[in-house]
């Protein structure tokens, strides 16, 4: 991303993010921040809030959409309120001795409520393994989500300017798209476009756009589905999807529709903004 923007003539200063980042930003005084962070603080609204306070325009979703997207339970609640299909689920505050009624028969998906990149995710096929999976997911804090497992295809849709660019099908060389699978070259096969009928592709595109809008939109995102036969289910939305030119899903989708990686980065940069208008005291 840095090389792509420099190649287009932009002056780019990489900033490593730690607790000192406010002072670094104040010293650099950037015109705009291109947010390429992942995980907590970078995706959940914390850095977005800091940039709002500092009145520095930034790329990606604003504070509230970022926070909603990172919290899987809240995102699913909003989708359900809009009658968008998502697998049934329950949410726990953390490990517990007594479980409420499970959302579906086994297998179930157990994952942290507020993490990304498949961190802490387990597919549980029998009840004896459930407690271990809950403890594993609970180590990350922020609650545990237990969700019905949907068999079928793994499909992700890239969104740019609120519109679906296309649907990519990913086939993991493993039980599911774990962190190791996602970030190890050669562990996934890709089908672009996804192997769906024209009607189902249109349906998935429309659902992705609706899911993006339901969480407050933003310049871009990536919406993940499981497609069981002809039934697509929303799994989660990544409001700050990866932008590794040769590895990440969104650049693959963009390239298929004729948007080069530098062009994709520039289009994202062009839409940098503040979510809260500056108020003079």
Tell me the average pLDDT across 138-157. 94
Q: Are residues 120 and 202 in the same domain?
A: no
Within this chain, do residues 268 and 138 fall inside the same structural domain, yes or no? no
Based on the domain organization, do 2 and 80 belong to the same domain?
A: yes
H-helix segments, the chain: 2-7, 21-28, 46-53, 63-70, 72-81, 130-138, 179-182, 198-214, 249-256, 261-270
Query: Mean pLDDT throughout 39-61?
Result: 93
- Is 138 in the same domain as 251? no
Indicate if 116 and 156 belong to the same structural domain: no
DSSP per-residue codes, 242-278: ---TTT-HHHHHHHHTT--HHHHHHHHHHT-B-SS--
Residue 279's pLDDT band (boundaries 50, 70, 90)?
very low
pLDDT tier at 97, thresholds 50, 70, 90 = confident
DSSP 129: G
Residue 36 sits in the same domain as residue 109: no
Does residue 183 register a pLDDT over 90? no
Query: Whole domain around residue 191: which residue ranges?
Result: 1-85+151-281
Quote the CA–CA distance of 243 and 116 in Å, as a whole number.
Answer: 15
Co-location of 16 and 36 in the same domain: yes
Report pLDDT for 83.
98
Helix (H, G, I), strand (E, B) or coil at 158: strand
Degrees, nearest 5: CA angle 59-82-70: 35
The confidence band for 191, taking pLDDT boundaries of 50, 70 and 90, is very high
pLDDT at residue 8 tops 70 = yes
Query: Within 10 A of 271 (CB to CB), how many other CB atoms are there?
Result: 15
Token pair belonging to 101: 């009624």
Quick one: pLDDT at residue 94? 66
- Per-residue pLDDT, averaged over 176-191, amounts to 72
Boundary residue ending a domain (99, 127, 148): 148
CB 145 within 8 A of CB 111: yes
- Render the burial of 30-56: b for 16+ CB within 10 Å, e for the rest: beebbbbbeebbbbbbbbbbbbbebeb
- CATH number for position 231: 3.30.470.20
* Average pLDDT of the residues in 59-76: 95
For position 40, what pLDDT does the model report? 80
The kind and range of the H/E element at 167 are strand 163-172
Cβ pair 115, 149 in contact under 8 A: no
Q: Are residues 76 and 156 in the same domain?
A: yes
| The pLDDT of residue 280 | 40
pLDDT of the residue at 20: 92
More confident of the two residues 236 and 95: 236
* Number of structural domains found in the chain: 2
194 to each of 155, 190, 217, 262, 264, how far by Cα in Å?
7, 8, 24, 24, 21
Question: What is the pLDDT averaged over residues 60-87?
Answer: 96
Q: Output the pTM of the full model.
A: 0.92
**80 and 208 both lie in a single domain:** yes
Looking at the fold, whether 278 and 199 belong to one and the same domain comes out as: yes
Q: What is the mean pLDDT of the chain?
A: 91
Give the containing element (helix H, strand E) for 111: strand 108-112
Whether 239 contacts 70, CB under 8 Å: yes
């Amino acid at each position: 991303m840095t090389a792509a923007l420099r190649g287009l003539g932009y002056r780019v200063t990489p900033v490593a993010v730690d607790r000192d980042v406010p002072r670094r930003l104040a010293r650099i005084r950037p015109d705009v921040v291109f947010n390429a962070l992942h995980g907590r603080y970078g995706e959940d609204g914390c850095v977005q809030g800091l940039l709002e306070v500092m009145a520095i325009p930034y790329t990606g979703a604003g504070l509230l959409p970022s926070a909603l997207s990172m919290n899987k339970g809240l995102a699913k609640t909003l989708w359900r309120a809009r009658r968008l299909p998502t697998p049934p689920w329950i949410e726990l505050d953390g490990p517990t001795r007594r479980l409420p009624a499970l959302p579906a028969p086994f297998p179930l998906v157990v994952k942290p409520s507020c993490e990304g990149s498949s961190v802490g995710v387990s597919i549980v096929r029998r009840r004896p393994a459930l407690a271990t999976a809950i403890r594993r997911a609970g180590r990350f804090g922020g609650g545990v989500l237990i969700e019905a497992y949907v068999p079928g295809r793994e499909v992700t849709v890239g969104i740019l300017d609120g519109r679906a660019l296309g649907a990519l099908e990913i086939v993991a060389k493993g039980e599911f798209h774990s962190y190791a699978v996602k970030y190890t070259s050669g562990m996934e096969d890709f089908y672009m476009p996804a192997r769906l009928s024209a009607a189902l592709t249109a349906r998935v595109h429309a659902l992705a756009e609706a899911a993006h809008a339901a969480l407050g939109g933003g310049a871009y995102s990536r919406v993940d589905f499981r497609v069981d036969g002809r039934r697509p289910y929303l799994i989660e939305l990544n409001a700050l999807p990866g932008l590794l030119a040769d590895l990440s899903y969104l650049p693959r989708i963009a390239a298929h529709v004729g948007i080069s990686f530098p062009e994709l980065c520039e289009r994202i940069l062009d839409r940098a903004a503040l979510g809260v208008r500056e108020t003079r005291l």
